[in-house]
C-alpha cells in the first residue's frame, strides 16, 4: 500500500479541515449563533481561495501553504465556538498564524515586484522591515474592525461577530502579530519561492 506523499497528505488534510469548518457552520446555524455563522462562512470561503487564485489568476499556492491557510481559518472558527474564552493562549496562537500568512503574502508580492521590474530594488533589510510594518498595519486594521464590530453590535443589540477583550488584549495581539512576521522573515521566505514566481509571471 502506497503512502500518500507530503503534498497529497497536505491536500487531504486541507479537505478534512474544510469539512470541519462546514460542521462548525452547521453548529452555528443550529444554535442560532450569529457570530459563529458569520465567521464560519467567511472561513469556509477562504478555504476555497487557493483554488480560485489558481483557476482565475494562475497563482500557484503550494499544498503546504494551502494547508496553513485552511488551518488558520479553522482555528479561528473553532475559537468562536468557545476556545477564545476557555484557553488563554488560543488567541495568541491564531494571531501568530494569521500574521504569518499576512507576512507571507506581503513578502511574496513585494519580492515578485522586485524581480519583475528593474526600476525598483528592495534590499533584504528593507524587505524584513517591510514585512514587519505591513503585518502590523493590517493587525491594527483588524483591531479597529473588532472595535467597530463591538460598537455596532451594541448599538443594534445583537451579538458581535468579532470580539475584543480590551486594550491589554489588543496590545498582546499586536505583539504576536510581530512574532508571526519575524518567523516568516527568519524561516519562511525560502518556502515562498513558488508563490513569488507565480505572482511575477502574473505581473508579466
The full DSSP string for 22-38 is HHHHHHHHHTT-HHHHH
Give residue for cell 457552520: 25
Taking only the tens place, the pLDDT of each residue in 84-142 is 888 989 999 999 999 999 999 899 889 888 888 777 788 888 888 888 999 999 999 98
Is 150's pLDDT higher than 70? yes
- DSSP assignment letter at 59: -
pLDDT of residue 138: 92
- pTM (two decimals): 0.86
Taking only the tens place, the pLDDT of each residue in 2-52 is 556 767 787 888 889 999 999 999 999 999 988 899 999 999 999 998 888
In the predicted model, what is the mean pLDDT of residues 172-186?
A: 91
Residue 151, CB half-sphere, CA atoms under 13 Å: how many?
6
Taking only the tens place, the pLDDT of each residue in 154-174 is 787 777 777 767 778 888 999
Amino acid at each position: 500500500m502506497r503512502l500518500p506523499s507530503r503534498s497529497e497528505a497536505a491536500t487531504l488534510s486541507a479537505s478534512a479541515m474544510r469539512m470541519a469548518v462546514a460542521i462548525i457552520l452547521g453548529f452555528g446555524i443550529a444554535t442560532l449563533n450569529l457570530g459563529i455563522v458569520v465567521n464560519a462562512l467567511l472561513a469556509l470561503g477562504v478555504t476555497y481561495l487557493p483554488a480560485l487564485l489558481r483557476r482565475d489568476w494562475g497563482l500557484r499556492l503550494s499544498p503546504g501553504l494551502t494547508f496553513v491557510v485552511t488551518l488558520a481559518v479553522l482555528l479561528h472558527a473553532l475559537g468562536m465556538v468557545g476556545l477564545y474564552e476557555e484557553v488563554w493562549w488560543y488567541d495568541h496562537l491564531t494571531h501568530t498564524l494569521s500574521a504569518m500568512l499576512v507576512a507571507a503574502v506581503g513578502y511574496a508580492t513585494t519580492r515578485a515586484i522586485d524581480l519583475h521590474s528593474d526600476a525598483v530594488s528592495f534590499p533584504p533589510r528593507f524587505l524584513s522591515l517591510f514585512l514587519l510594518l505591513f503585518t502590523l498595519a493590517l493587525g491594527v486594521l483588524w483591531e479597529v474592525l473588532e472595535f467597530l464590530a463591538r460598537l455596532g453590535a451594541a448599538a443594534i443589540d445583537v451579538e458581535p461577530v468579532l470580539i475584543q477583550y480590551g486594550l491589554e488584549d489588543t496590545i498582546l495581539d499586536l505583539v504576536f502579530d510581530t512574532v508571526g512576521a519575524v518567523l516568516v522573515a527568519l524561516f519562511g521566505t525560502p518556502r515562498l519561492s513558488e508563490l513569488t514566481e507565480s505572482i511575477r509571471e502574473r505581473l508579466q
